[in-house]
């Protein structure tokens, strides 16, 4: 953010239950939506007086370590919707890029210290009582603070690798916050088709898009950056869905250490194109965190129709239409013998008409489905 841009800051405290929201903020990919709610006492007057004009503004999520009164910038967002019900403000936003902390631990610590020093100084007239162990007001405010944190020491060269590096750099920062001692973080990596020529999944408008009649490998990155035990207890992660649309073939995987990549397998059922479904990802056994954030991760799904089915129906449409014209207008010399079989000829005419009608209805359904999925 440049100093000329006014943007929104949302600052949840690392306390129960609000601090556990960080695990979801870190888990969802870019483009997914998430929500916060605050009573008006935590919202700055400038925001309260202009909240109807804030939709579309950029923003920044900052976690506050209440024990140390320190700030940890986490992730950008774009505000998509805001409503006030009574004295409660509901903020719905689209998650964006992670803050680009350095991959060098020493530099990263200096970046965090520099951010805290400048951030506190810049907002000393707005922020009240930022003392260790005490609540701070406000937690939602507008600012023109210039954030300048960059990673000059990337290990990865590709975009996807750098995104996961950004994620890991922020997760390891939580080792400085006692509240996250032993808390497990996960991140959705991808849902990869099993077939080599399978249609890839993608994220768009808060949905994971999949294709009907396709098998997928769901890959999830798991990390416990800090723990009181040398060996964290084994944790199972369970994947659930609506069996009407998605069949889970491998629904459970065990994480046995502080970090792992877990793989699950599921199948999108036939004739489900154009429908919505979901995946729930949760932990077994439950920890303190799961009491507040279960299901651990909710992923809305939209199922795309198979293009092959549309091509087959279009081919049948052409075939039935040709047959109807053939048997109603003109019979080639080679088919003149059918004139001596009026019953058969009438049957073929009627069958062609029925076929054309059915296929037209099916094509309209397919077209409507394609329009819905995009």
Can you tell me the distance from the alpha carbon of 220 to that of 175, in angstroms, rounded to the nearest whole number?
21
Whether pLDDT at 91 is above 90: yes
Residue of 101, 118, 110 lying closest to 152 (CA atoms): 101
Can you tell me the distance from the alpha carbon of 171 to that of 165, in angstroms, rounded to the nearest whole number?
10
Backbone φ and ψ for 308, nearest 5 degrees, come out as -65, -40
- Hey, which of 5-9, 254-258, 344-348 has the most confident mean pLDDT? 5-9
Whether pLDDT at 351 is above 80: no
pLDDT of 46 reads 95
Angle subtended at Cα 251 by Cα 249 and Cα 253, rounded to the nearest 5 degrees = 125
pLDDT tens for each residue of 263-296: 999 999 988 888 999 999 987 765 555 555 545 7
* C-alpha dihedral sign at 123, 127, 129, 134: negative
Token pair 């099993």 is found at 194
Q: Which of 77-81, 181-185, 209-213 is predicted least confidently? A: 181-185
pLDDT of 206 reads 83
Average pLDDT over the chain reads: 82
Whether pLDDT at 230 is above 60: no
pLDDT of 226 reads 67
Whether pLDDT at 116 is above 80: yes
- Hey, which of 113-127, 253-267, 332-346 has the most confident mean pLDDT? 113-127
Contact criterion met (CB below 8 Å) for 299 and 190: no
Token pair 């306390």 is found at 15
pLDDT of 320 reads 57
Backbone φ and ψ for 317, nearest 5 degrees, come out as -60, -45
CA quadruple 133, 134, 140, 142: dihedral, nearest 10: -90
Residue of 216, 8, 167 lying closest to 94 (CA atoms): 8
Backbone φ and ψ for 328, nearest 5 degrees, come out as -110, -30
CB atoms within 10 A of CB 27: 23
pLDDT of 11 reads 96
pLDDT of 218 reads 94
> Pick the residue with more confidence: 160 or 92?
92
How crowded is the C-beta side of 113, counted as CA atoms within 13 Å? Answer: 6
Q: Binning pLDDT at 50, 70 and 90, where does residue 132 land?
A: very high
Q: Binning pLDDT at 50, 70 and 90, where does residue 174 land?
A: confident
3-state helix, strand, coil in the chain (%, to 5): 35, 35, 35
Can you tell me the distance from the alpha carbon of 64 to that of 139, in angstroms, rounded to the nearest whole number?
9
**Does the domain spanning 181-304 belong to CATH 2.60.40?**
yes
Q: Binning pLDDT at 50, 70 and 90, where does residue 3 land?
A: low
pLDDT of 359 reads 65
Count of helix runs (H) and strand runs (E) in the chain: 7, 16
Can you tell me the distance from the alpha carbon of 360 to that of 372, in angstroms, rounded to the nearest whole number?
18
For the chain, the domains span 1-156, 181-304, 307-373
The DSSP string of 250-271 is E-EEEE-SSEEEEEEEEEEPTT
pLDDT tens for each residue of 138-168: 999 999 999 989 887 776 667 777 888 899 8
pLDDT of 326 reads 58
């Amino acid at each position: 953010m440049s100093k000329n841009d006014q943007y929104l800051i949302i600052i949840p405290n690392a306390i129960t239950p609000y601090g556990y929201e960080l695990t979801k903020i870190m888990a969802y990919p870019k483009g997914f939506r998430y929500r916060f709610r605050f009573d008006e006492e935590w919202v700055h007057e400038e925001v309260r007086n202009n909240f109807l004009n804030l939709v579309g503004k950029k923003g920044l999520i900052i976690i506050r370590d209440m024990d140390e009164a320190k700030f940890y910038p986490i992730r950008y967002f774009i505000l998509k919707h805001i409503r006030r019900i009574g004295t409660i403000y509901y903020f719905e936003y689209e998650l964006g890029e992670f803050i680009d902390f350095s991959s060098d631990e020493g530099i990263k610590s200096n970046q965090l210290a520099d951010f805290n020093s400048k951030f506190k100084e810049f907002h000393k007239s707005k922020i009240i009582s930022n003392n260790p162990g005490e609540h701070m007001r406000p937690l939602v405010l507008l600012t023109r603070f210039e954030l300048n944190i960059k990673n000059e020491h990337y290990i990865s060269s590709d975009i996807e690798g750098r995104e996961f590096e950004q994620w890991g750099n922020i997760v390891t920062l939580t080792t400085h916050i006692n509240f996250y001692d032993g808390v497990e973080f996960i991140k959705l990596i991808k849902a990869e088709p099993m077939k080599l020529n399978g249609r890839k999944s993608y994220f768009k408008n808060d949905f994971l898009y999949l294709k009907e009649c396709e098998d997928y490998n769901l890959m999830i990155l798991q990390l416990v950056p800090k723990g009181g035990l040398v060996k964290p207890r084994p944790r199972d992660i369970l994947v659930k869905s609506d069996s009407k649309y998605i069949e889970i073939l491998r629904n459970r995987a065990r994480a046995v250490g502080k970090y792992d990549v877990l793989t699950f397998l599921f199948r999108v059922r036939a004739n489900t194109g154009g429908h919505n479904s979901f995946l729930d990802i949760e932990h077994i056994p439950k920890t303190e965190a799961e009491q507040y954030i279960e299901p651990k991760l909710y992923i809305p799904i939209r199922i795309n129709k198979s293009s092959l089915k549309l091509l087959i129906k279009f081919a049948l449409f052409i075939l039935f239409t040709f047959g109807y014209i053939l048997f109603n207008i003109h019979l080639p010399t080679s088919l003149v013998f059918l004139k001596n079989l009026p019953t058969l000829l009438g049957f073929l005419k009627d069958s062609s008409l029925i076929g054309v009608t059915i296929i037209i209805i099916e094509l309209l359904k397919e077209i409507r489905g394609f329009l819905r999925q995009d």
